[in-house]
Structure 1
């Protein structure tokens, strides 16, 4: 299996303001790519007729929860799956409301690509800036700005060009390397799966074509070898009594049998004896494969340890600088004790200091804050009880991220990116 073949799954997230047409767009992608069962289509057609629509309301395909339909909003993160002959897709559909910033962080944390929807009639809104900033903060490598509802502005090239110019001026301040623009009508299907006859002036690709062909093989870090140990496998059978395997997911780099490796925190070195995937020996393993590794030497290794290369190691530290998105209704204050989870390691931690909060609309820092509330994004300092093997989030999204857990309730209360 090559790295290229392993990347045939594209994870993407959708974000936009309320009523920008996210549900309709996802419904259109599912419908036009023929990823829906006949009975689902019939049900949606019947519901659309009952509502008095003279068209099929594709947003009903994604708004599965009854409470959402009654309120007319989409809540929480909903994951949708569909496939074309070229790729498989997982969509994280996140709410547009300001109070659900934490949901977008959850949905976008593993995404290769983000779709930001902009209503052609309204242009850029506060939520556009907020979602773009979060996409930049989460280091999502690819961004597609879909200018939706083009049918309501007579498919105007001037309206589209103005929105593109406005967005480019704003996004130049963000850390996003690949931004594409597509003028669409999710309701009518223009430029979603099929090319639009109404916009001959647009010469780019359709949204689905872009999703199928965007290059994601180089998004993972294939340089820094990182293998956090999740479990030590010791079968208690006579034929396998000497077997000692280390199972986990590779979070960076490429490992091969014969490679010299170092185990953290002990510092012992050895060589890889074998790598197995689903019980079969393989010649190389890379992110995000989950494998079992054996070493030539017997070393005391346990869950939370990390196998790396001797000449390429993460920083071992107990002091972290983190950008955190706070997800709990109870505000966070300095000197609070937490459980910190990093890769497969869990340990106690203390919030040392809240340095500043970020105004996600202006990108300005708000200094001198004593606490941060739900959906706030802030820079904090953390001291951990045990050493953490960290990379910066910019370098590796897996070994550069943490979650904070309330030790009293066991709730996940914060998600952080190591600076």
Structure 2
């Protein structure tokens, strides 16, 4: 496996690193201060001036929409090429939006670019690519075990020239944002289909359609994730044109696999970026603090954790790069095991490394404006996009299938 990056990628890496050092890290305190001020003023979901100003700088620097492989819309990078850039952006929890590379918009833009009609793309993809609006992905439901997505109960029913949508969703990423103008909604169009993976469809729902409402925002371990966040959403007799269906009835799982594969690469590489920064903080902190007569960095347990963190981060990175290369060369379906492996490995690694960094800081680590939300986000990703247990089951079945073939 050759993970040597092209001159184009190395140039983008250098420019991204410079942008992070010049604009993002120095602006981090101002960003969190602005979010807190908006929260105190009762408007936590108000977009921040810090990000909006940096978006203009990033776009002018040519660091915009790097995630899309289609050169017509994005930078024309493969999954393997984009992965190291995603890691750099992940070093600050809030920075992917600066480059128009944040979830769920990235996944939704990929869906619209791959599966949307020309009209869908004109109405929704173009303003998303321009960063003029934001979007939401509505898939998970509170009333069923959503680890098995075939359990989805929300309905999409044909009524003449319209579909009527009814259902309750939660962890609807981005729904609280006032810039959110469109939902991509997954529900059942054919609940009686004997093939459980052809019962579901995905459909475009404009945010202002009558019957769409926000029930509540959902905190993650006490963090509201404002100004982005997640919500419980309700769809009551929502009517949209038949033309809003994506790819056709019964194609929802097909779209989901096309959407979630690259998304898992993005999540995992951003986690590696978080872990790298956590390790950096751990090293600096333990070198500057003295306990029991010597620097904390020289204590045996600290040295061991620093070493284990370096091993864990590098292992996870190589696993992700391998999965990205396989997706590029043999496709998402053939890379299913590798994608499942990184979805287990990367969040667990990040939780472990960030936890050690918090421990190294002592009491300050629990209130650290980077480490505390970073840990909450990493822990949440052991559930988001499929819990660990589902991915481990898939890995185990695929491994056993390989051996069964040999025995036969």
TM-score bracket for this pair, using the shorter chain length = under 0.3
User: How high is the TM-score relative to the length of structure 1?
Assistant: 0.25
Q: Normalized per residue, which structure has more strand?
A: 1
Say which structure, 1 or 2, has more relative contact order (CA 8 Å, 6+ apart). 2
User: How high is the TM-score relative to the length of structure 2?
Assistant: 0.26
